[in-house]
Amino acid sequence: MERPTNYRPLSPISFLERTANVYRTRRAVVYGDTEYTWKQFAARVYRLANALTEAGIGDGDCVAFLCPNIPPMLEAHFGVPLTGGFLCSINIRLAPREIEYIINHSGAKALFVDSEFATVIEPILDKIPEVKMIVNIIDEGAAIGSKAAPGHGGKPLEGKPNYEDFIAGGSPEPVENPVEDETGAISINYTSGTTGNPKGVVYTHRGAYLNCLGDALESGLGTHTRYLWTVPMFHCNGWCFTWGVTAVGGTHVCLRKVDPEVIFDLIESERITMFCSAPTVLISLYSHPRAKSVKIDWPMMAFTGGAPPSPTVIKEMESLGIEINQIYGLTETYGPHTVCAWQEKFDGQGAERRFAMKARQGVANITAHELSVFDEENNPVPADGETMGEVVMRGNNVMAGYFKDAEATAQAFRGGWFHSGDMGVMHADGYIELRDRSKDVIISGGENISSIEVENTLYRHPSVLEAAVVGVPHEKWGEVPKAYIVPKPGETPSEQEIIEFCRGEMAHFKCPKSVEFGELPKTSTGKIKKFVLREKEWAGQEKRIN
């Protein structure tokens, strides 16, 4: 059927055709000594799409990638949907059993595996019957600045073709955009599954198109952008920056592994203008010795999300010359839903107040539109900055639903809003601020305690590098706060010193009653696994630990 003159389905894969035509000789991708112009990158994408089509991949088929932030992973974000299928980018930190579940649940017909993770796939080769084709991605590594970024470090799966050979068999001729239904799936992203099997979150062409434009507008992306890939592309499709940077003709600077030394090399050699990360990555940067000597004399911004950053983290990063803007969202909202939109009137605040305001999660981004905080009766809470409720969203960048799980979708969408499970407050100016995940709120003697509030206090202690607070059993109060702390290098604060510091900063009932020092368990995207800490403390006790 012929399309109307005044309508084209929205899809971010359309950005590649335009950018490859308009900016054909500009640098598209940099990975160590490897560089592609936009014309060259598009040809590689078309080769991938044509090779997949020749292999039998087509409308509605899923193609899975198990791969870090290297060029093939970026190419898949365009090459796979150009076949009419959809992409499933798998978390590279998962165990074989979890990967097996995702491959089978998504119905993946093809699987591309970076050879570093071949040993993860080998045990399940006979347990993924729907997969008809497996391709090895062999990364030899890349020399970056003063340090060589390690390559795959693993043996490819025996008898499987090499990615470069596979795409070489495909034509570099442009592929016509196959999208007829903008509400169809472009990708499926699986949640962490800490409370059971992971859920498959379905992204549509329309939602991805609008969210990546929101990313571009809110962060000021343009042809000048040199974007460093510190956030995993398997996480919400890289918060949709895979498509957003392409839309504006910027440059993707790929990074196989988050390494502060390599990141600083790339910041200086490529004059990076933008990156995204969880707060733990920011902490690893400003606490690294290179932070004392790096000179950033050009505009540079970082979006941070995945966990609320403390004002201290924002202050430390901005002292390096990197402007921090907090975004907030979930896998179910294509990553970023909010941005802490900065206004000139905020500049008149004192430094500490300004950083505290930057630590708020903010307002819905330009294309997201709707955001609120509801009480238990699904009514908006007072905009007083004190009354807690659940953060809810609706609009263009809310998922289509959970794949093959109508019941979970209906529960998440009850009342016509997506329910985040995050607890927050609404300020008088319409900006929200997270106070906790609903499962992280500590109820001590009937009083609600925000673990985030306690953590922000801990970050102000001069010896604290990282902190997490959970509720632990208490005979009288039911539960009380306990702090887990990673000290700064060379620092050895005592438990009593930490507790006394908090008692001087906040109400005593909110203060940690005990402190444990050591490393913190984290997800692959840098989030602290509080459920692991709770599980240890509540073993054998009657309390929800996830």
Instruction: Give the tens place of pLDDT for each residue, 265-284.
Output: 999 999 999 999 988 899 99
Q: Taking 50 as the threshold, does the pLDDT of residue 546 lie above it?
A: no
Q: Taking 90 as the threshold, does the pLDDT of residue 353 lie above it?
A: no
Q: Does domain 278-398+420-438 have CATH number 3.40.50.12780?
A: yes
User: In the structure, what pLDDT confidence band is assigned to residue 190 with cuts at 50, 70 and 90?
Assistant: very high
> CA angle at residue 447 from 514 to 432, to 5 degrees?
100
Q: pTM for the complete prediction?
A: 0.86
Q: Does domain 10-256 have CATH number 3.40.50.12780?
A: yes
User: In the structure, what pLDDT confidence band is assigned to residue 153 with cuts at 50, 70 and 90?
Assistant: low
What pLDDT is stored for residue 452 in this prediction?
Answer: 85
Q: Are 67 and 87 in contact (CB under 8 A)?
A: no
Whole-Å CA distances, 202 to 306, 384, 405: 19, 35, 11
Whole-Å CA distances, 158 to 152, 154, 161: 15, 12, 9
Mean pLDDT across the chain = 91
Evaluated on CA atoms 432, 422, 203, 282, the torsion sign reads: positive
Radius of gyration of the chain, Cα coordinates, nearest whole angstrom? 23
What pLDDT is stored for residue 545 in this prediction?
Answer: 40
Q: Report which of residues 526 and 371 the model is more confident about.
A: 371
Q: Are 395 and 364 in contact (CB under 8 A)?
A: yes
User: In the structure, what pLDDT confidence band is assigned to residue 141 with cuts at 50, 70 and 90?
Assistant: low
Residue 22 structure tokens: 């308009």
Q: Taking 90 as the threshold, does the pLDDT of residue 36 lie above it?
A: yes
Q: Taking 50 as the threshold, does the pLDDT of residue 314 lie above it?
A: yes
What pLDDT is stored for residue 147 in this prediction?
Answer: 53
Residue 91 structure tokens: 């978390």
What pLDDT is stored for residue 151 in this prediction?
Answer: 59
Kind of pairing, strands 274-277 and 147-149? unpaired
What is d(CA 379, CA 391) in angstroms, rounded to the nearest whole number? Answer: 11
What pLDDT is stored for residue 193 in this prediction?
Answer: 56
User: In the structure, what pLDDT confidence band is assigned to residue 146 with cuts at 50, 70 and 90?
Assistant: very low
Tell me the fold of 442-537: GMP Synthetase; Chain A, domain 3 (3.30.300)
What pLDDT is stored for residue 188 in this prediction?
Answer: 98
User: In the structure, what pLDDT confidence band is assigned to residue 288 with cuts at 50, 70 and 90?
Assistant: very high
Q: Report which of residues 408 and 351 the model is more confident about.
A: 408
Q: Taking 50 as the threshold, does the pLDDT of residue 159 lie above it?
A: yes
What pLDDT is stored for residue 152 in this prediction?
Answer: 57
What is d(CA 161, CA 274) in angstroms, rounded to the nearest whole number? Answer: 35
What pLDDT is stored for residue 174 in this prediction?
Answer: 96
Phi and psi angles of residue 254, each rounded to the nearest 5 degrees, phi first: -80, 150
Q: Report which of residues 220 and 1 the model is more confident about.
A: 220
What pLDDT is stored for residue 418 in this prediction?
Answer: 97
**pLDDT by residue (tens digit) across 211-237?**
999 999 999 999 999 999 999 999 999
What pLDDT is stored for residue 143 in this prediction?
Answer: 56
What pLDDT is stored for residue 160 in this prediction?
Answer: 96
Residue 161 structure tokens: 């073709």
Residue 63 structure tokens: 């193609």
Domain(s) labelled CATH 3.40.50.12780 in the chain stretch across: 10-256, 278-398+420-438
What is d(CA 282, CA 314) in angstroms, rounded to the nearest whole number? Answer: 9
What pLDDT is stored for residue 356 in this prediction?
Answer: 86
What pLDDT is stored for residue 154 in this prediction?
Answer: 79
